[in-house]
Amino acid sequence: MEDFFSTTSLENIPQPKIGVYICHCGQNIASKVKIDELVSFASKLKGVEISRDYKFMCSEPGQNLIRDDIRSGKIDRVLVASCSPLMHEGTFRKTASDEGLNPFMLQMANIREHVSWVTSQTEKATSKAKVIISAGVARLRMHKPLPKRILPVRQEVAVIGGGVAGLTAALAIADAGKKVFIIEKEPTVGGHMGYFDKTFPTLDCAACTLTPRMVRAGAHPNIKIFSMTEVVELKGRAGEYTLTLLKKPRYINEEKCNGCGECWNSCPAVRVPSKRLIKLGGKIVR
C-alpha cells in the first residue's frame, strides 16, 4: 500500500464530473417536493458539476439538456432524479450513449414512487428526496464504464421435473425446434397427475390429458428423457449452464426390457414390504 501511494499521485486520477437532473414529472413530484431546494442541495454534493431541473426530463427538451452538457464536456456521469428506473432508465441510457458516454455511467434516483407518491408532507418528502439523491451521487462517484459483450447462447433446454407441467413446457419448446432434456427423479414421467381419476374443475379424465403428452414426449425427436435422475450441481450463467446429473441404476438392461414384469417373479432382492401385488391383465402375481 505504501508503494502505491509513493509511486501514484492521487491528484492525477480524474475526478468525476456529475450532472444532477431533477424532474418535476408534471405535478407528480413538484407538488410534494421542493424542487428549488433539491437543486441547490445537489449542487453542493461532492463531485457534482451541474444541477438542473426540468418539468419533464424524459421529454426531448429534457434529454437535450443532458446531451448538451455531455457534448460540452461539463459532465461525465449523469444522475436523473425522477420516476422508477423501470420507466425511463433505458431512455436516459440511450441519451448518454448517443453522446458517446458509457450508458452505465448513469444512475436513477426514484423520488416519485419512493417519495412524492407515498407522503403528503412536503418537508419530510423533500428531506427523503435529499437522502436518495445524495446516496445516488455517492454511488455514481464509484461507477466504472462497463462493456457490452455478445456471447453465444446454447440452444438446449433442461426441464427439471417430468410432471404434466414439465411435459407441456418441454413439448412447446421441442415443437419450436429446440433440443430438450427432461430430468425426472421417478422411474417414469407423468408426476402426481397419473394418480388422479379426474381433474378440477372440468372433471376431465386425468389420464386422457396426461398420457398423450407422455407418448408425444417419449417419441419426440427433440426430447430426451432422463428418468430416475436427479440434478446434483448447477453451474454457469444464463445461456451457458452446466448440470451434473446422478442417474440411479435400474438393475435391468433397458434396451431389452419390454415391461412384461416377469423379472419380479425371480428377483432375489429383499423387499419391504416382503409381499406385493402385481396385476398382469386379469392375473394377480404375489
Domain ranges of the chain: 15-140, 157-249
Please tell me the class of the 15-140 domain. Answer: alpha beta
Dihedral sign, CA of 239, 244, 247, 253?
A: positive
Q: CA 37, CA 111: separation in Å to the nearest integer?
A: 14
Grid cell digits, residue 172 = 412447446
Question: pLDDT averaged over the chain?
Answer: 88
The Cα–Cα gap between 109 and 23 comes to 10
CA-wise closest residue to 251 among 278, 269, 273, 226: 269
Which carries the bigger pLDDT value, residue 74 or residue 201?
74
pLDDT of the residue at 6: 41
**Adjacency order of strands within the sheet including 157-160:** 157-160, 180-183, 223-226
CA 61 centroid distance within chain: 33
Longest dimension (CA), the chain: 92
Q: Which CATH architecture has domain 157-249?
A: 3-Layer(bba) Sandwich (3.50)
State how far Cα 22 lies from the chain centre.
29
Helix (H, G, I), strand (E, B) or coil at 175: helix
pLDDT at residue 85 in the model: 95
Which pLDDT tens digit goes with each residue over 24-42?
999 999 999 999 999 999 9
Copy the grid coordinates of residue 116: 412524492
% of the chain with per-residue pLDDT over 70: 88
pLDDT at residue 239 in the model:
84
Residue 5's pLDDT is what? 37
- 65 phi and psi, to 5 degrees? -60, -45
How high is the pLDDT of residue 38?
A: 97
